Amino acid sequence: MSGARPEESGLASGIVNTTYQIGSALGPAVMTALAAGAGAGARDPAALTGGFRTAFAGAAFVAVAGAVLTLLLMRRPESAVPATTDAATDAEATSART
């Protein structure tokens, strides 16, 4: 959100909140579907465990994929102050002010 212009901060906040809520609704639904498809709906304890194992593996995959994508796609903010300054540039700036 720090990359948004001040006049677009409300829009950026709304997009973040909407994305969070959609993810919070779809994530458990998809993991429940994985668990049910892999046997969590059965009465056999082994099938139940297998279904939950599949759901947890799916959730772990999504978390790792999200972390990798974040590391690859996240941009570093640009610095407002240059890292190095030139003595001649400093002298010019000082003489321009006087």
Categorize the per-residue pLDDT at 26 as very low, low, confident or very high, splitting at 50, 70 and 90. Answer: very high
Question: Long-range contacts of range 14-22, CB-CB < 8 Å, 24 or more positions apart?
Answer: none
Longest Cα–Cα distance of the chain, Å, equals: 85
Residue type, 47: A
pTM value is: 0.60
Identify the pLDDT of residue 69: 95
Q: Which of 16-20, 28-32, 81-85 has the lowest mean pLDDT?
A: 81-85
Q: Nearest CA to 31 among 52, 61, 57, 55?
A: 55
97 band by pLDDT with thresholds 50, 70 and 90? low
